[in-house]
Amino acid sequence: AQTVTQSQPEMSVQEAETVTLSCTYDTSESDYYLFWYKQPPSRQMILVIRQEAYKQQNATENRFSVNFQKAAKSFSLKISDSQLGDAAMYFCAYRSPQGGSEKLVFGKGTKLTVNP
């Protein structure tokens, strides 16, 4: 079974600075999907960024980018120019390829605090 590990329960960053959240995963599959979701205190889970494992190029979405290291099974999230609104729980998630289980396997999350 696949597992996802987020080794940083809490992180903090100064406004306008850059922060990197770590995620590692364990799988025997060669193709899969990886996601970062953000969950503010209101609890609505919002998709931040996604990556298909067969793509070597790292995904980017405005201030958010990932460092995908397939051999190391690592999928870290970098937030540039941090804003107060970025404060939330961040969850890394894994999904098997098409034809396999469509469920998401989540890590335990990292709580990000942004200091003004």
Which residues of the shown chain bind other proteins in the complex (CB under 8 A)? 4, 33, 35, 37, 42-47, 50, 91, 93, 95, 98, 101-109
Of the two residues 5 and 14, which places its CB atom closer to other proteins in the complex? 5
How far apart (Å, rounded) are the C-alpha atoms in residues 64 and 77? 7
Least Cβ distance, residue 78 to other proteins (angstroms): 20
Q: Which residues pair with 65 in a beta bridge?
A: 60, 78
Least Cβ distance, residue 17 to other proteins (angstroms): 26
Least Cβ distance, residue 54 to other proteins (angstroms): 12
The string over 66-89, giving b where at least 16 C-beta atoms fall within 10 Å of a residue's C-beta and e elsewhere, is bebeeeebebbbbbeebeeebbbb
